[in-house]
Structures are given as C-alpha cells and as structure tokens.
Structure 1
Amino acid sequence: MTPDSALRSLHVKISGPVAEVQLLGPSKGNAMGPEFWAELPEVFAELAVNEEVRAILLYGSGGNFSYGLDLPAMEPVFRPLLESRGTDARLRNGFRLKIRDLQDAVSSVARCGKPVLAAVDGWCIGGGVDLIAAADIRIAAPAAKFSIREARVGIVADLGSLQRLPGIIGSGATRHMALTGEDFTAPRALELGLVTELADDVVARGRELAAVVAGNPPLVVQGVKRVLDQGAEASVQAGLDYVQVWNTAFLPSRDFAEAARAFAERRPAVFTGD
C-alpha cells in the first residue's frame, strides 16, 4: 500500500477488514486538484487487491465531502484549448485524453471489487456527486447538500454523474439536477434514493454499515456487486466516451470563458450561447 505520508489529497486507514479513505483537499472544501486525480486511482487499485480489505468507507474532512473540481488548480488543463479556440486538433485530442484520465480516476471506485460506502457531510458538488455515484452505498448527514453545478459554469458534466445517476435516481431526477444546477437537501436526496439513510454522525454510521458488509462472506459480497454492475457497465462507458468527444468539441466556448470570468469577479454570468 502506498505510504499514507506520501499522499496529499487522501488519508487511508485500514482497520481490520474495513479501509477508510478520507478526502483532504488540500484545497478548500476538499476540492479535487491534480493530487486527487493522481492519487485516487492508485489508492483504489491497491485496495482492490488487498485481500484483507472487504469494504471501503469514503468520506470528507473539515465538514464537507467535496466542493468538486478545483477549477483554479486545474486551469492549466483547460487553458491551451481555450486559447486555441478549439482549432488545434492535437490540443483537442490531448484534452479528450485528459477527460478520459479523470473519468478513469472516478471509475476506479466503481471498478473496485470491494463494496464502497460514501458518507456525505456538508457540500457534495459536481465532481463530488460523480464520485459518490460510483460508490455502492451512499448515506448522508441531515444537513448535507448536493448539486450538479456544471451547467451553471458552462460545462456538460463529464465524469460519470450523467451516466450513473439515472440508474440510481432515475432519468427525470437526474435531468432536474443536471439541467437546473439546483442544490438538493439531504432529505430530498433521501426521497430520490440518491442516499439510502440519514445519520447525525454519518461517519460513525458509515463505519457500522461497512463493518456489516465486511462481516458477510467476501466472495458473495463481491459477487453481488459484480452482478449488479454487469448490465450497466457497457452503457456507462459508452456515455463516458461520448461526453469526452462532446466536451472536446464544445467546451472552448465564449460561455465557458464568461463563466470563468464571472467566477473570478464574483458576479452572475451572462450566457449568450456562443
């Protein structure tokens, strides 16, 4: 296992058959920057082959799950494509491959043979929703809030929420979340089935559930996960591949640049469809 001291965005603790993966940031609200995208697939690949681990609990630090993609830290990924206005084919393909890498990082959670439980406190925005959608069980604190905000900043969500959430909460609720970018409360998330339980001490309850899962026969538990995932894998991957191409073609827009300026200037964005 990668030494925990070598990780900047995650803290990993293994207690018997349960591994805990805590999001650390290092940006505010556990926003997902370069360290996170490099470390997440590495950690989950190692946990997947650790024969002692039977369940994984995933949660945030500092009172939030995650604010989602760390846009300032990831800006160098977007800048070359935006500056070229999408006219350089080599840049476009490089950008598509970068989207693929980020998708694969989230998919490492879904691919992990061990059941993953996500315990959500505080905000779970954008990439945070992508991440919990890749988990097997989701629970939340009563004050938790969820949002697919990409449409509000000129991006089609491309890391898995649009592909995985319809199978969790249905197409209608997914469209509502993704098209409006509205915030959803924990009780609403429970009503929709995005989470299956609310708990005042969500991490403590997550540990209880992880212990219950880990106490069942491991091959049976892993088999349940594989059987449930089997029918959806191909369609999820096809959707991920499609949105790679879509965002590579349309992300370098004036609206996206306007969203970035408005965010920096702390003002409402004015979108024109260009």
Structure 2
Amino acid sequence: MTYHCFDFSIKDKVAHLQFNRPDSMNTMQPVFFRELVSILSDLQRDAPARALVISSSGKHFTAGMALDVFAGGGVSLDDASAAGRANIALVLQEMHRSFNLIEQLRMPVISAIHGGCIGGGVDLICASDIRLASADAFFCIQEINIGMTADLGTLQRLPKLIPEGIVHEMAYTGRRLPARRALAVGLVNELFDSRELMIEAALQMAAEIATKPPVAIWGSKQAIHYARDHSTHDALQQMGWLQSGIWQSSNLMEAFMAKQQGRATHYADLAPVSSFDDAAYQLK
C-alpha cells in the first residue's frame, strides 16, 4: 500500500515506518494521523511483525504539527463558546489515539531520532518503548513557543521518563534538549555518530527482539507499563494474573533445546485479533 506521509515495510518480522515528507520537515497533518492509525491498527490486529522501528528522512525527525492545520481551516477549533470549546476535547481524543496506539502496540516500538524532534514529535517518541538518537538530535516542547500548552501526551509521559525538573524547564522555556543531555537524563538509550548508524542499530535491536517469544515480549511490555502507573503491590498482583494467562512451558523447552542443539529458536507468532466490528452475524 502507498502512503502519503510514510514509507512502510516489513522484513524478517521487523516493521519499519519512516516519515517520508522531508521537504515539509515531516510535519503532522490530518492525513499523517489517519495513516499512522491505519498502519498501527493493522499491526495490532494482524501482528505480522514482532518489533516496529520508527525513523525519518531528511534533515529533521519531525517539526511537529503543521501550523496551517488549524490556521488554514483544515481543523476548526471554536473557542467562541463553551459548547465549541467542549468539542476541542473530542478533537484531541482523536489525535491522542494515534500515539496511544504506539504505547499499546503488542510489539516493542523503537524510535530512531535525528535532527529536530519538535512538538508533536516529542509526544510520539515518548509513547515509544526505546529511543535511540544521532548526535545531531534535539528535543523541543515547541508548543509554549507558539502560545499554547503541549496537549498530545508529552506532559503526561515525559515526567515518567526523565527528571521532572527537566520537563518543567523544557515546557516553560521551549528550550532545546540536545542529544547528549537527552542521553544523560535518560530520554534516549544510546547516541550514534550518524543517522545511518543509528537506524542500522535500531533495526539490529528490533531483529534481536524478533527472535524472542512474542507472547513473553508482550507480557513484559504490559507488566512494565502497569508497574509505571500503579503501586508495587498492585503491579505484583497484576503480574501474577498476567503470568498465569501467558505462561507457556513449551517456550522454555524451545529455548533449552535450541541452545543444546546450537540453532536459532522458533517461537509462535502472536495470533491475529478477530475484529468484533468485522464479525459476520446474521440477525434472527
């Protein structure tokens, strides 16, 4: 399938989603969100891959939201009445869905960031599981510089990734967080000298993840996210329920046998999810 905003491919169980509008600095427009939701929904439903790498083309990862989306009438936000302002929340919910899908995806998501990661780009990479960056990368909560509060997830997710004081600094000043400082505060896992080396490393990491049992990877992602948002006691209780649901002795045996025989492991893929909306049902 051809997309306007992305190049998308799957090879050896690794999905690669690349922003492909470098001339516009990969800005986010309504079609960006529609296509992103479509791609992520297909990955979630059919599980044709075991890991997803998100990268970009051109000079910058993304310049964030295209300003003409709202100024040019693409999306109408009516702040003249209470009823109109109430609808802004519904518009935001639609936009939240795309980045929520990244966080909820049944496979790990690795963001490979070069150049500017601005505004909505920070919202997006905060929803990823792992972030790698090139040495020229920088991060900016741009919204404060254009007279608004960031509203697509940065202020909710970023304080759980880096010290709160750094978030306050970025959110209040609109200053750039350079790649080396982003590494120092824990926003990114590793820095690379070039975009090419970074993407190569991201794909290698995704390929390594793809050799692990997908159901155990999914369980790990569920447990980490739950523990982040709940007490240790509650998270341990949830872990018991989670493990009892996904436990597969055959995976342990496969790992043992593969090591003994000096071969690669072979684990079952995640099963496709049957859509309730698409279910065939005849009224009686």
The 5-angstrom pairing of residues 243-254 of structure 1 reads: none
Matched, 1:19 2:12: no
Alpha-carbon deviation of 1:142? 0.6
Question: Which residue does 2:158 correspond to in 1?
Answer: 165
- Contact 1:106-1:130 within 8 A present in 2 as well: yes
Alpha-carbon deviation of 1:49? 2.4
Distance, in Å, in 2 between the alignment partners of 1:17 and 1:142 is: 28
Q: After TM superposition, which residue ranges in structure 1, 4 or more long, deviate above 3 angstroms?
A: 77-80, 231-234
SS at the partner of 1:169? coil
Question: Which residue does 2:66 correspond to in 1?
Answer: 70
Alpha-carbon deviation of 1:24? 2.0
Write out per-residue CA displacement over residues 121-163 of structure 1, whole angstroms, 9 at most, x where no aligned residue.
Answer: 1110010000000000000001111111111111110000110
The letter of the residue matching 2:221 is K
Unaligned ranges ≥5, structure 2: 231-284
Question: Which residue does 2:190 correspond to in 1?
Answer: 197
Distance, in Å, in 1 between the alignment partners of 2:145 and 2:80 is: 25
The letter of the residue matching 1:42 is S
Distance, in Å, in 2 between the alignment partners of 1:157 and 1:99 is: 11
The 5-angstrom pairing of residues 41-80 of structure 1 reads: 41-75=37-71, 76=73, 80=77
Identity across matched positions, percent: 34
**2:34 maps to which of 28, 38, 61:** 38
The 5-angstrom pairing of residues 79-98 of structure 1 reads: 80-81=77-78, 86-98=79-91
Question: Which residue does 2:261 correspond to in 1?
Answer: none
- Contact 2:63-2:119 within 8 A present in 1 as well: yes
Distance, in Å, in 2 between the alignment partners of 1:231 and 1:124 is: 28
**Greater Rg over alpha carbons, structure:** 2
SS at the partner of 1:30? coil
Unaligned ranges ≥5, structure 1: 235-274
Question: Which residue does 1:144 correspond to in 2?
Answer: 137
Alpha-carbon deviation of 1:91? 1.8
TM (normalized to structure 2)? 0.76
Aligned residues: 227
SS at the partner of 2:150? coil
Distance, in Å, in 1 between the alignment partners of 2:229 and 2:38 is: 21
SS at the partner of 2:177? strand
Alpha-carbon deviation of 1:212? 1.3
Matched, 1:220 2:216: yes
Question: Which residue does 1:241 correspond to in 2?
Answer: none
Write out per-residue CA displacement over residues 92-124 of structure 1, whole angstroms, 9 at most, x where no aligned residue.
Answer: 222221111111111111111110000001110
**What RMSD over aligned residues (CA atoms) do the two structures have, in Å?**
1.9
**2:127 maps to which of 117, 120, 134:** 134
Alpha-carbon deviation of 1:213? 1.3
